[in-house]
Structure 1
Amino acid sequence: MTRIVGRSGGRGVRRAVGALAAASLLALGLGACGDDGDDAAPSGDQSAAGPRLPSLSGTTVSVAGVWTGDEQASFKKVLTDFEKRTGAKTEFIPTGDSAATFLGQRVDGKAPPDVAFLAQPGALKQFAEKGWIKPVTPDVQAAVEANFAPQWEKLASYDNKLYGVYYKGANKSLVWYNTRIFEDAGATEPATWADLQKTAALVSDSGTPPFAAGGADGWVLTDWFENIYLSQAGPDMYDKLARHEVPWTDPSVTTALEALAQVWSKGDWFPGGTEGVLQTEFPASVPQVFGESPKAGMLPGGDFIGTNIIKDTKAEVGKDAKFFAFPAVAPGKPPVVTGGDVAVAMKDSPGAMALLAYLASPEAAKVWAEQGGYISPNKNLDVVAYHDDVTRQIAEKLIAAGDDFRFDLSDQAPSAFGGTKGEGMWRDLQDFLRNPSDVAGAQAKLEADAAKAFSGA
């Protein structure tokens, strides 16, 4: 069983980054906001465009989520639209970063919220095993099947039952770059791993290390590996490795680590070399590429990097800072590794199920998309709704992946292996960065740590 309680380190870092997204993307100003479209219907009025929802006048629906600040304000506008459509009242309950711990305490106190948001598939499975969440109704199931790729439904399921709706997504398969450095080096956006290395060589020859990486935060290094492995080995093998159904000594892992070593073995391709990477935390890696005196040309990472560029530098996203898709690693296709927040019902109530049905609709996604700082996995959301061109392009890549995207592998693993500072996958990849010639040694460490964590030892 996946252990969730006590998960820390990179999870908190990633969540803190995301908490700034709404305000930051509003500041982009790269595209016009979509207009508000149809006004929401009066309470319980089913004439409005959107899902058919019951009248819930006199009902209060409580919703627990990790969001704070601008993200919370944006989501509350989503809840306001739900209120107008149903007549219900809603209450938002902040969970803090340790959502699973908070929600477990609410269950123990016999006061669970109607609906809660979870950030890891393992948490959903754990809650379903314990009976803390309820399978969705046929109406919610139909909405999910109509609006999402099957893989999202699979991620929100346990024991062949659907338990949730992935309302918010993330695209973690991007490489952000400094446009001036690329222009000076005569570099162009690469499409393959081999091309990326050629591009990196051009940037290096121009006098700038091609890559920055916040390797002091081990999750940064797991993201590099996950993208390479998904592209090379394919979704099926990725699933097996994520579940530890194949060992980390498998030849497919060998091939991925060898590809990773093609870049990690070139210490002068990173500011300060290998030790510089290992001493740099993720937030500090962003100014290394986009600060006033840049020290590197590219930064692989997720859509949230755009937030940090705006917060921590004077670079303009879409002009000074652009991105391309993480390149295909032969013999595979370009990967799409994702994250996301899934809404689950902790009470089998009409209000909880109505909110899940609403969150599965394009109309619910549109409310937040128009505000910025949000990407939806809903394939039927018109991308015109997105607040700016940059977010629109990122969301299009996520949807275009169809059923071939995969959720962050380390987020699916027991926390002792995939989510704890100084342990497991984080530490093992940091050690591999120090000695990328020792592929077999890295695999042995990864397998030993994975076997221990998956056995619950």
Structure 2
Amino acid sequence: MDKKRTVVLLLLALFVLGVLAACAGPTPQVVEKEKIVEKQVVVTATPAPVTAGENIGKVFILGAFRGEEETAFNQVIAAFEEQNPDIDVIYSGTAEFETLITVRVEAGDPPDIAAFPQPGAVAKLAREGQLVPLWDDAIAVYDANYQPGWKDLASVDGVPYGMFHRVNAKGWIWYNKPAFESAGYKVPTTWDELMALTEEMKGSGIAPWCEGIASGAATGWKITDWVENVMLRVHPVDVYDKWVAHEIKFNSPEVKKAWGIVADILTDPDAVYGGTQTIALTDFKEPPKWLFEDPPKCWLHMQGSFVTNFFPADVQADLDNQVGVFMMPPIDESLPFTLEVGGDQYVVFKGKDRPEVRKFIEFLGTPDSVKPWAEQGGSLFPHVNQDLNWYPTKLERTMAEAMTKAAAARFDGSDMMASELNLAFWKGATDWISGNRTLDEALADIDASMQ
């Protein structure tokens, strides 16, 4: 065989092998995915499919809370497992919850249960058909242990999906208890009484209110809390819902009415420590400390239940004796008491509603699930049949009692708005309180963000 023929045959053989390799497709490889843990990205091989029955008796939960909160939640799990020794519940907390839950859902590998702090994410997954609606026994637990507003809040398009457990509320008004009582002031129970108290305090030489809204890129959210809480006290919840959806505009009479009531306090230079011009420049964590200076710089401060973290250390160590609190009083007293809240919703993913998973969801709706966490302090629960004595401080008992009496609840409005509207709300509120825009101009700017 001559050299030329040999070369031709070799080339032909290589060509045939190449075609066969192409037809056969790529060599099988292990598919990899990203698993987000804390702030590190770890690449792991995709686990082999779980065989039928492998997870029977186990419940896997993914959530965002860690540290002391995770420790407290594990006490809740221990209480459940004591009642159900044949079930093993495993909780995993991660700072990258939003990313990881998205990755796992898209990969077809969701946990049994996820604890969502974001209501918008629950609504999105429910509408995509990724979640299991609550079943009859779970709904019965809701009806027995919560005010009706909580089940409504956990519903998407009228269908309940989430079971609320730990929650928080906004609209609390805080004060220096010894100084307040020494001055002879009384806790107001109506808006008129609150405004009368504000006028009385002006004559004390100490400003009635202290306020600061600076929060970096999020500056302005503090005023949105004021507006949202007043909206819930002057309008029915359906008006609030339409406003959040921007079906009612910011420059509408409804919103202007609420904002005007807020302005009665925040734009009165004699009502706010340092005057209105300091509000946008003051970090929101500073005013809570001013309540406890000697003498106080101000008498009252409106903030959510997390504000105790910003009190001086000696005050935090003696909350019951040093701190007083009451809920922002009603304005239109014909309306039901409605709380502005946040909290964790526990939802079940499609195909994961095994009997043991259902049992745990139902357990979260009972007072038995409240006791282990409430006893640790620092968290509140809306269950109407809980024993308030489980909370270690009188302050927590006062707040928990108020939460159990709320006829309705709504999420933070700005958090529920479209992102561009939320950002415009923050900016418009800041421009208004800074004096850079009139109220009408600021409201028009906010509405323009949705055009």
Q: TM-score, normalised by structure 1?
A: 0.78
Query: 1:163 Cα shift?
Result: 1.2
> Which one has the largest radius of gyration?
2
Aligned ranges 1:115-154 → 2 under 5 Å? 115-154=113-152
Distance 1:60 1:216, change over 3 A: same
Amino acid at match of 1:358: F
Residue segments in structure 1 that go unaligned for 5+ positions in a row:
1-55, 453-457
The separation in 2 between residues aligned to 1:433 and 1:243, in whole angstroms, is 24
Amino acid at match of 2:441: G
**Alignment partner for residue 375 of structure 2, among 370, 376, 379?**
370
Aligned ranges 1:5-44 → 2 under 5 Å? none
**Does residue 344 of the first structure (1) align with residue 343 of the second (2)?**
no
The separation in 2 between residues aligned to 1:124 and 1:241, in whole angstroms, is 20
Query: 1:331 Cα shift?
Result: 5.8
Deviations 1:340-381 (A, max 9, x none): 111111233333222111111121122222222221122222
The separation in 2 between residues aligned to 1:286 and 1:351, in whole angstroms, is 45
Amino acid at match of 1:360: G
Distance 1:254 1:71, change over 3 A: same
Amino acid at match of 1:90: V
Secondary structure of 1:392's aligned partner: helix
Equivalences, count: 390
The separation in 1 between residues aligned to 2:257 and 2:94, in whole angstroms, is 41
The separation in 2 between residues aligned to 1:292 and 1:92, in whole angstroms, is 45
Distance 1:159 1:259, change over 3 A: closer
Deviations 1:147-175 (A, max 9, x none): 22222112212233321101112221210
Question: Where is the strand percentage greater, Structure 1 or Structure 2?
Answer: 2
Deviations 1:33-92 (A, max 9, x none): xxxxxxxxxxxxxxxxxxxxxxx9963211112222211111110011122222222222
On the 8 A contact 1:177/1:322 being kept in 2, the answer is yes
Secondary structure of 1:297's aligned partner: strand
**Alignment partner for residue 165 of structure 1, among 126, 144, 163?**
163
Amino acid at match of 1:283: K
The separation in 1 between residues aligned to 2:339 and 2:157, in whole angstroms, is 26
Query: 1:315 Cα shift?
Result: 7.1
Query: 1:335 Cα shift?
Result: 4.9
Q: TM-score, normalised by structure 2?
A: 0.79
**Does residue 256 of the first structure (1) align with residue 255 of the second (2)?**
no
On the 8 A contact 2:66/2:94 being kept in 1, the answer is no
The separation in 2 between residues aligned to 1:378 and 1:328, in whole angstroms, is 22
Amino acid at match of 2:385: N
Aligned to 1:224: 226
The separation in 2 between residues aligned to 1:112 and 1:163, in whole angstroms, is 16
Query: 1:210 Cα shift?
Result: 2.0
Deviations 1:373-398 (A, max 9, x none): 22112222232333332211111111
**Does residue 424 of the first structure (1) align with residue 428 of the second (2)?**
no
Residue segments in structure 2 that go unaligned for 5+ positions in a row:
1-53
Deviations 1:226-263 (A, max 9, x none): 11111111323112212222222221111111111111
The separation in 1 between residues aligned to 2:432 and 2:184, in whole angstroms, is 31
Secondary structure of 1:221's aligned partner: helix
**Alignment partner for residue 411 of structure 2, among 389, 407, 413?**
407
Residue range with higher mean Cα deviation, 273-282 or 221-230 = 273-282
Aligned to 1:92: 91
On the 8 A contact 2:172/2:325 being kept in 1, the answer is yes
Query: Could you say which structure has the greater relative contact order, defined with CA pairs below 8 angstroms and 6 or more residues apart?
Result: 1
After superposing on structure 2, the runs of 4+ consecutive aligned residues of structure 1 that deviate more than 6 Å are none
The separation in 2 between residues aligned to 1:316 and 1:274, in whole angstroms, is 32
On the 8 A contact 1:95/1:103 being kept in 2, the answer is no
The separation in 2 between residues aligned to 1:57 and 1:361, in whole angstroms, is 25
On the 8 A contact 2:210/2:298 being kept in 1, the answer is yes
Distance 1:143 1:381, change over 3 A: same
On the 8 A contact 1:82/1:355 being kept in 2, the answer is yes
Secondary structure of 1:344's aligned partner: strand
Q: Taking every aligned residue pair, what percent have the same amino acid on both sides?
A: 31
**Does residue 327 of the first structure (1) align with residue 326 of the second (2)?**
no
- Report the RMSD for the aligned CA atoms in angstroms: 2.5
On the 8 A contact 2:376/2:392 being kept in 1, the answer is yes
Aligned ranges 1:435-446 → 2 under 5 Å? 435=435, 438-446=438-446
